[in-house]
Every structure is written in C-alpha cells, then in structure tokens.
Structure 1
Amino acid sequence: MPDSRPSLDPLQLGTYFDLIEVVSLLRHSVEQQLREAGDLSYVQFQLLARLGDSPTGSHRMTDLADGVVYSRSGLTYQAGLLEKSGLVVRAPSPDDERSVTVTITDAGRALLAKVLPGHIEVVSGQLFAPLSRDDVKTLAELLAPVRDHMRATPPRSAAPRRRKGA
C-alpha cells in the first residue's frame, strides 16, 4: 500500500527551514533591541506600534489580539503591564460595553519614539540589507498571498470572535 501521508519535497523542506531560521534570528535580534532600548517585550512593542499607528491611538482589545495573533488572555496580561507602566489606558468601549478599548498615552508614544529608531535599524540591517529593492518587492509579493491564505483559516488567537446569537 503506498504511503499517502502528506510530505514536502526537498526544495519545500529547505525553504521552510530557511524561513523558520530567518524569522527566529530576526525575532531574537528585535527582542534584544526592544529589551535594551525600552524594556519592552515583542508583544508589548506590537501593541504600542499598532496603537501609535492608529489615527485615534486606540483599538479594541479583541482587534489587537486578532492583529498580533496572540491569545486574548495573554494580550490582556500584556496590556495590563503596559497600563501599570502608564504607557496605555484601558476603558470600556463607547460603542460596546462588553468590549475594552486600549489607548496609547503620551508616555507610550514617547517610549515608542525612543525604541523605534533602533528597531528600524535592526530590521533594516538584518532583513533588508542583503536584498535589492526588487528583491524586497518580490518578497512582499510572495508573502502577501501566503499571509492571506493563512488568515483565511487563522489560529484561534487570530480568529474573530463569534457573536452570541449569530
């Protein structure tokens, strides 16, 4: 009987391992820079960056969890740490009393401004330095459909919550 288990050919397997190694090495460098420059975890930086990039400086917690692909309970914990540090404030959402909105504070914006130059330097030096502009464009074009495909069936932490009664 033939083996019908899914498999990866050598090119796919090598590409997969290369991608995992690149992501691991980049994340390690980024996490080290964030800790040294601002005593931030990677997830805390993602939260501040998303809030800082928002026109209102605010997002609902569930939207943040979906965007950063992190468990809602873990994100609540991280937001609590940021709130204790005065970097964000949490409040009931004005649109839905069951939701919590997180807003970046002036102190959060200041810390983001402090760590961002080093973050950009690490990402630029580690990821983009060995690539031409055309390579970066090609990489973006290759990753976008993979990301979209994976987002079509996201992990539970990234899946939108089902509404009761829906």
Structure 2
Amino acid sequence: MSEPQHDVDPVRLGAYFALIEVSGLLRHAIEQQLQADGDLTFVRFQILRRLQLSPAGSRRMTDLADAIVFSRSGLTYQAGLLEKAGLVVRNRTPDDERGVTIAITDAGRALVDAVLPGHEAVVERLLFDRLSQDDARTLTDLLTPVRDHMRAAPPRSATPRRTRP
C-alpha cells in the first residue's frame, strides 16, 4: 500500500520554516542576553515586563498566564521564584478568594530597566536592522491577523477562565 500523496506548497512551506527559524534564533539570542545581563529567563522577563507595562504594575495571575501563553501552574512556579528574589509580590484578589494578583516590586522594575537596553539592542540588531520601517509595518500587518486567529481558538493555557455569575 502506498502512502497518500500530499501536495506541499513550497512557498508556504518556506514561509513556515523561515518564521520558525527566525523565531527560534531570535529567542535564543534574547535568552542569552537576558541571562548575561540580569540572570533572567525569557519567561521571567516576560512576566516582569508585562507587569512593568501595566498601569497598576499588577495583574491577575490567570490574566498574565493568558497574555504570555503559559500554563497557570507554570506561571505559579515562576512567580514563586520571582517572589523569592524580591522582584514581585503576590496577594489574594479581594473580590475572589481563589484569585491571585501579582505585582512588580521596585527591585523588579530596576532589573527590567537594567536588562531592557540590551534586550532592545538584540531585537534591533537581529530583526529590525534588516527591515525598513515599511517592512516592519508589513510584518505587523501580516502577523496580526494570524495571531488574532490563533487567539480565537487558544490552547488551554491561553483560554480565559469562565467567570461565575
């Protein structure tokens, strides 16, 4: 019995592999920079940076897990490590006894501020130095609907929790 023939579009296959390779190479370089400049993993940097950018400096843990597409249990573990290091604090959410809020501390803000210039330099050097402003705009225009489509049917880690009536 012969295997079914699959028509592979070489253009789409090339785009897929280029996207995966660029993403992997960029993430690897970012992880090296974050480790060298601040002893941070990529996930811990994402947590701290998203908290730093939030107006109140805090977010619900479940919302943060959804935002960075990370499991809730994995985020709880990472938050515990960040809390031990004095970079975040966790508190119960006043209106939900099961909810937990995570907030960035002054030490967390200082660490993000320390690693951010190197982070931005790596992203600029590896990604944006090769793209014009129009190319960057086009890339955003291409990837935004794909991201939105993927977020419409997210994995469990990115599925918002149902609220109780």
Residue 4 of structure 1, CA deviation: 8.3
Residues 62-86 of structure 1, C-alpha deviations (whole Å, 9 max, x = no match): 0000000011111100000000000
Matched residue type, 2:70: Y
Residues 126-160 of structure 1, C-alpha deviations (whole Å, 9 max, x = no match): 11000000000000000000000000000111111
For normalisation by structure 2, the TM-score amounts to: 0.94
**1:1-80 equivalences in 2 (<5 Å):** 3=4, 8-80=8-80
Matched residue type, 1:34: L
For normalisation by structure 1, the TM-score amounts to: 0.94
- Unaligned 5+ segments in structure 2 are none
Residue 95 of structure 1, CA deviation: 2.6
- Structure 2 counterpart of 1:139: 139
1-structure distance, mates of 2:29, 2:131: 18
Residue 107 of structure 1, CA deviation: 0.3
The number of aligned residues is: 164
2-structure distance, mates of 1:65, 1:4: 40
SS at match of 2:146: helix
Structure 1 runs, 4 residues or longer, greater than 2 Å off: none
2-structure distance, mates of 1:95, 1:20: 41
Residue 162 of structure 1, CA deviation: 2.8
2-structure distance, mates of 1:110, 1:53: 13
| Aligned residues with identical type, % of pairs | 65
2-structure distance, mates of 1:129, 1:150: 28
- Unaligned 5+ segments in structure 1 are none
In structure 2, the CA distance between the partners of 1:19 and 1:91, relative to structure 1 (3 Å rule), is same
Residues 73-126 of structure 1, C-alpha deviations (whole Å, 9 max, x = no match): 111000000000000000001232210000000000000000000000001111
Residues 48-71 of structure 1, C-alpha deviations (whole Å, 9 max, x = no match): 000000110000000000000011
Matched residue type, 1:60: R
2-structure distance, mates of 1:101, 1:108: 15
SS at match of 1:59: strand
SS at match of 2:59: strand
2-structure distance, mates of 1:151, 1:80: 27
SS at match of 1:97: strand
- Structure 1 counterpart of 2:94: 94
Matched residue type, 1:99: G
Q: Which moved more, 1:76-85 or 1:152-161?
A: 152-161
